[in-house]
Chain A
Amino acid sequence: MDHVTIWIVIAGLGIGSFFLRFVFLGVIGNRPLPAWILRHLRYTAVAVIPALVAPMVLWPAATGEQFDAPRMAAAFMTLGIGLATKNVLAAILLGALTLYAGLYIAG
């Protein structure tokens, strides 16, 4: 791979990513935002993160994007425990346990 290209990509991606991270925090800063925007922003995390995760659950890269029952079961266990207990660590541990148990059973 051409090293000039590599450095161009690193610099461009570094600057571009920082710009994306700074654009609102830096430009708006302390100025008050309209209520309707704030209302949308309250749901950023619960919308973007599940949207990010859903394809990984349904089509895991590790199984060649084929549906995988142990991984699906682990995702639902994590979600269920998280909803029921509000305990992040319990959700992770039981989710991981479900995954390993499922992978063991599936052989």
Chain B
Amino acid sequence: MLPATDKSAFWMGVRGAAPFILVVVPFAMLFGVVATEAGLSVVETFIFSTTVVAGAAQFTALQLMQEQAPTLIVLISALAVNLRLAMYSAALTPHLGAAPFWTRVFVAYLTVDQSYACSVAAYERNPDWDLRTKLIFFFGTCAPVLPLWILASLAGALIGQAIPPAFALDFAVPITFLAIIAPMLRTLAHVAAAFVAVILALSFAWLPFNLGLLVGGLGGMMTGAQVEVMLERRLKNLKSGEVR
């Protein structure tokens, strides 16, 4: 499906990321509440969410600061949680690397789990999209996510109350991500990558600094690439067999 105009590409992105509002609002509000309870001022909480824009890392930093961990340990631990962002950066490069420097700066700032997952899913469904369409779609996915992350953090800090746990919104995170990823599992290579990633991530969950995620991610990527090569080789053999 090729969007006819820039406007429609933008709205496609907005619609694609809209379900993540369910994730972002409660998570950000909770951060606002926990941060102010930990002793951060409203301004500090607001700037924290605006500059870092990464929930899991922000919670990690907060928890370690409360435990009086050395500042260097706080930084290393929280950045380790964010190492996956470098993998997203690499995966976006074949799609958006040709953009002008300052556009890439903005894309980088706006690269979060949600904008990345939605955009890559759409790029795979629409291999005919040009750079401009891809960029506009990416910015569209950020529109419902990033401003709400910042505003809901602020709201949590000001109101001092999160959404009650009875709503079980904690589980909006796995549900929305699984819903985005499931349609992407279209080949054996994709399924194998996801399967190995899950097994490894669970087996290595005991590693410090959230490194189990990295082991799972890299192992899954290597599996996907290997299976792709094997499938291509088999296809080639089949074809040459037909010719003979």
The answer on a CB contact under 8 Å between B75 and A50 is: no
**Number of residues on chain B facing chain A (CB within 8 A):** 95
**Which of these, A1, A39, A48, A103, contacts B84 with CB under 8 Å?**
A48
Give the most central of B16, B175, B182, B201: most A CB within 10 Å: B175
The answer on a CB contact under 8 Å between A45 and B120 is: yes
The contact string, 1 if C-beta is below 8 Å from chain A, for chain B 76-117, is 001100111111111111101110010011011101010011
- Number of A-B residue pairs at CB separation under 8 A: 286
**Which of these, A6, A23, A47, A62, contacts B65 with CB under 8 Å?**
A6
The contact string, 1 if C-beta is below 8 Å from chain B, for chain A 47-63, is 11111111111111110
B226 to chain A, nearest CB (A): 9
**Which of these, B16, B57, B217, contacts A44 with CB under 8 Å?**
B217
The answer on a CB contact under 8 Å between A21 and B108 is: yes
The contact string, 1 if C-beta is below 8 Å from chain B, for chain A 21-41, is 111111011110100111111
The contact string, 1 if C-beta is below 8 Å from chain B, for chain A 76-107, is 00111111001111011001100110010000
The answer on a CB contact under 8 Å between B178 and A29 is: no
**Number of residues on chain A facing chain B (CB within 8 A):** 74
B184 at the A/B interface (Cβ < 8 Å)?
yes
Interface of A is mostly: helix
The answer on a CB contact under 8 Å between A79 and B57 is: no
**A49-B177, A54-B216, A60-B170 in contact; A9/B198 too (CB < 8 A)?**
no
B47 at the A/B interface (Cβ < 8 Å)?
yes
A45 to B121, CA, bound (A): 8
**Which of these, B178, B185, B190, contacts A91 with CB under 8 Å?**
B178
The answer on a CB contact under 8 Å between A10 and B48 is: yes
Query: Which A residues touch B173, using CB under 8 A?
Result: 53, 56
The answer on a CB contact under 8 Å between A12 and B75 is: yes
The answer on a CB contact under 8 Å between B39 and A5 is: no
The answer on a CB contact under 8 Å between B97 and A25 is: yes
B229 at the A/B interface (Cβ < 8 Å)?
yes
The answer on a CB contact under 8 Å between B216 and A13 is: no
The answer on a CB contact under 8 Å between A22 and B176 is: no
A82 to chain B, nearest CB (A): 3
The answer on a CB contact under 8 Å between B89 and A20 is: yes
Query: Which B residues touch A44, using CB under 8 A?
Result: 87-88, 90-91, 120, 217, 221
B155 at the A/B interface (Cβ < 8 Å)?
no
B234 to chain A, nearest CB (A): 16
A79 to B196, CA, bound (A): 16
A25 to B52, CA, bound (A): 18
The answer on a CB contact under 8 Å between A51 and B197 is: yes
The answer on a CB contact under 8 Å between B229 and A18 is: no
Query: Which B residues touch A89, using CB under 8 A?
Result: 19, 179
Query: Which A residues touch B51, using CB under 8 A?
Result: 10-11, 13-14, 17
B107 to chain A, nearest CB (A): 6
List 5 extra interface pairs beyond A21-B109, A23-B86, A103-B168, CB under 8 A: A13-B57, A17-B53, A29-B93, A82-B182, A99-B175
Q: Can you offer 5 A-B residue contacts whose CB atoms are under 8 A?
A: A9-B78, A39-B228, A49-B113, A78-B179, A82-B183
Which 5 A-B residue pairs are closest in the complex by CB-CB distance? A82-B182, A47-B220, A43-B224, A51-B216, A14-B51
